[in-house]
Every structure is written in structure tokens, then in C-alpha cells.
Amino acid sequence: MELKTLKGKKVHLRALEPEDLDTLYTIENDESLWNVGETITPFSKHILKEYLSNAHKDIFEVGQLRLVICENATNNVLGMVDLFDFDAHNLRAGVGIAISSEKNRRKGFGKEALELVCGYCKQHLVLHQIFANIEASNTSSSTLFEALGFKLIGSKKEWHRKRNFETNTIVYTDELFYQLIF
């Protein structure tokens, strides 16, 4: 059964399934996507199988929810959208999104997926607000979130430490904090 709030014109969002293991493995171990999360450690298929076996648990129990972004026309997996740091008392959660392939970016898939998850948060989870943490250099993400009404609330200076492998130096990057109040 498909939830109408999780289906748009181009994409739909669905729960993780066991057959998503290879996709999840690819996304979690793609170093170019590590800047949108908080990890710098690769994940084994064993660990991801364990994660998938518990992915059915309620957001109220585990404080997070990951949904798969699928293209309506082909049913191909395009990426993932995460709700994290779910706070049932204050009615808020963080949101993050990753479109896994460069060829699928800037085609409106991410925007529609984010619209769908915002609607889900408002209608089904009855959240008061959602927030996003975006690396300052990620102008595509900032533009996306701003287009959907997220407001830039502040900047965390030199928040992330990164190694520039070309120059073998350490750089610190700022993180922007965005908020959408329903």
C-alpha cells in the first residue's frame, strides 16, 4: 500500500527493504557523500544488514527514519532522505538528503523528495519544525533548502575538519544551520 503523502509527480519515498543492501552499501561508502554526514568510516555489509533488520522500528522508538527515493517512471533508486535527532517532546527533527548519482542531480528529484518528507513531517509526525545542517560550500543544498522555505539561522564556524588530499593539509569548513517552522 502506497502513502499518498509520499508520492509526487517524479519520485516516491518508501521504507528500506532488504534488497536495498547494495545501494545502501554504495551510498554509505561513497567518500564524496561523507561531507553530508558525520562519518569518515566505511561500513561493512554485515553492519548494514543489521541496520536493515532494524529499519522497521518506529521513529518514536529509535529517533530516526531513513526513506528511499525512487523515480516513479522506472522505480530506480535515486538516493535517500533521513530524519534524525527526532525529538518527540519538542516536535522537531533534522533532515538530510543525498541523491547518489551526479547524473540524477539538478533534475528536481531532490526537491520533490524534500517536499514530500516535509509534508510527511507536518501531516503524520505533526512536527513543529525541521532543521538541516549544510556545509557552507554546498551551495546546491543551500539553494534547495532555501527554495522550500528553510531559513538560514546561523553558521557554525570551522565546524568540520577535513584533509585536502591534493595538498596534504587540514582545512576547517563552516556549517550552516537551516530551520523550517511549520
pTM given for the model: 0.85
Range of the domain at 23: 4-181
Cβ neighbours of residue 70 closer than 8 Å, sequence gap 6 or more? 11, 12, 13, 14, 76, 77, 78
Check pLDDT > 50 for residue 1.
Answer: no
CA 37 centroid distance within chain: 9
How much is the pLDDT for 131? 98
Please, where are the H alpha helices in the chain? Answer: 21-28, 45-54, 59-62, 109-123, 139-147
**32 confidence band (pLDDT: 50, 70, 90):** low
How much is the pLDDT for 21? 76
pLDDT in tens, 50-76: 766 667 678 888 889 999 999 999 999
Check pLDDT > 80 for residue 8.
Answer: yes
Check pLDDT > 90 for residue 125.
Answer: yes
Comparison of pLDDT for 180 and 98, the residue scoring more: 180
Instruction: Give dist(CA 116, CA 120) in Å, integer.
Output: 6
Instruction: Give dist(CA 41, CA 182) in Å, integer.
Output: 35
| Mean model confidence pLDDT for the chain | 87
Which value, to the nearest 10 degrees, does the dihedral of the CA atoms of residues 119, 142, 78, 131 take?
-40
* Beta-carbon count within 10 A of 169 CB: 9
pLDDT in tens, 151-165: 999 999 999 888 777
Comparison of pLDDT for 39 and 81, the residue scoring more: 81
Instruction: Give dist(CA 119, CA 6) in Å, integer.
Output: 8
Least confident of 19-28, 68-77, 120-129: 19-28
Largest CA distance in the chain: 52
Q: Which residues pair with 164 in a beta bridge?
A: 169
Please tell me the total count of domains within the chain.
1
Instruction: Give dist(CA 109, CA 78) in Å, integer.
Output: 8
Cβ neighbours of residue 30 closer than 8 Å, sequence gap 6 or more? 100
Check pLDDT > 60 for residue 79.
Answer: yes
pLDDT in tens, 84-102: 999 999 999 999 999 888 8
- Domain of residue 97, CATH code: 3.40.630.30
